Amino acid sequence: MTTKLFRSERQRTRPKALLALSATAALVMTGGPALAGHLPEALALRAGHPEALVLRAGQPSGASGRTVGEARLAGSAQVPAAFRVFQTNMCMWGPDSSGPCFPKGSNAALAKTAEAKRASLVSQIEHWKPDAVTVNEGCSGDIAEVVRRLRKAGYDYTSVDQEAGAADSGHPRPCWSSSARGHSDNAIIARGLDASSRTGGYFEPVAKGSVFQHNRSWLCARVKGVRVCTAHLALADQDTNGKAPGGTLLQLRECAYVRDKLLAPYKAGATVFAGDTNISYRRAKAHCAPTGYWGLHDMETNGKYSGVSGLQHIYYSGGLTRANSCGEMHVVAHTDHKGFLLDLHPVKTPTRGASCTWRDIRRTP
């Protein structure tokens, strides 16, 4: 990455200066017609948006059954004239061999990295003020702390989450360096969140002795009349047999579940999926959007394309449109993923919106 939205640890310790920098000189990628022929995207300056009036959400009940939650998700509510979605993968879990994701080090170094990730996510949300943020590879304690800081700053955000990463112990993967960081999860942080509508689960069976070492999960909840879902799908080569011959590829099964169970039954309303699908731009025709949906692959912010380009997807049902926008990509400090921002608008007649060349995920006939 060559463009940095937040460029130093010192800047992150000064929120007012950071927000001033972001509001006046944040470099973003508009991703419109400049993508034709895979040319480097155009840079643009974007000002902040005033915060919209929101309703205060209740706390997660934890006891509501899936049937009740699904019924609430199917309910109707007034969708705002503009609904902003922000998707990112914060890679919060712990040390990773890839380095940029979560560098290895001492416990003190791990704790410092974890705090930097929390501060980075808070700063992104404070600046862009999305209606819904979908976070993959989060930590339950970190997400709770992010929401606490946002509310302390005067923003009416709440969250729901779904544990992830259960290994053969049958328990979710703990996050490194401190028990206060909780367990690995996928999360939705939002304003106007109806926490009682939350539904979530694992794609694969979770049980002691299970062969699924990195169980992937999904999560949905209603936000301001929009059904919002997220998931973090398996890598393209992960299968039911530990990559040994004869296994069934997990990503294909997970993608089918997203398409047929989470999205297809809700195409008549306002539904959004935003998540890290691990389906790259090299497989531009591969996606998990069902009939009645459009969407976008993410894009690289530096005009260069690699195997990790286009992994983050946003799909939306026929009750929404992206109008003239192809979304924006923002460099998020302390993760090897980007922030994928898209403004959506309610419509009565289904329409895709602007053409975004190879990034288009097209509605099937």
The domains located in the chain, with CATH, are 9-46+56-361 (3.60.10.10)
What local confidence, expressed as pLDDT, does residue 117 receive? 93
Compute the half-sphere exposure of residue 116: CA atoms within 13 Å on the CB side of its CA: 22
Model pTM score: 0.78
What are 228's two structure tokens? Answer: 């919002």
49 versus 100: the higher-pLDDT residue is 100
24 versus 284: the higher-pLDDT residue is 284
What local confidence, expressed as pLDDT, does residue 315 receive? 97
162 versus 69: the higher-pLDDT residue is 162
- Cα(293)–Cα(21) distance, integer angstroms: 36
Instruction: Give mean pLDDT, residues 312-322.
Output: 95
Least confident span in 59-73, 164-178, 196-210, 263-277: 59-73
Average pLDDT, the chain: 77
- Cα(87)–Cα(198) distance, integer angstroms: 18
Is it the case that residue 126 has pLDDT exceeding 80? Answer: yes
Nearest to 129 by CA among 205, 53, 72: 53
210 versus 175: the higher-pLDDT residue is 175
What local confidence, expressed as pLDDT, does residue 42 receive? 26
- Cα(159)–Cα(7) distance, integer angstroms: 28
Query: Which string of DSSP letters, residue by residue, matches 68-99?
Result: HHHHHHHS--PPPS-EEEEEEE---SS--TTS
Residue 126 backbone zone (phi > 0: left; psi -120 to 50: alpha; other: beta)? alpha
pLDDT tens digits along 128-167:
999 999 999 999 999 999 999 999 999 999 999 999 986 6
297 versus 284: the higher-pLDDT residue is 297
Query: Which string of DSSP letters, residue by residue, matches 117-182?
Result: HHHHHHHHHHHH--SEEEEEEEEHHHHHHHHHHHHHTT--EEEEEEE----TTSSPPBPTT-GGG-
DSSP annotation of 292? T
Is it the case that residue 254 has pLDDT exceeding 90? Answer: yes
Instruction: Give mean pLDDT, residues 61-71.
Output: 45
199 touches 172 (CB < 8 A): no
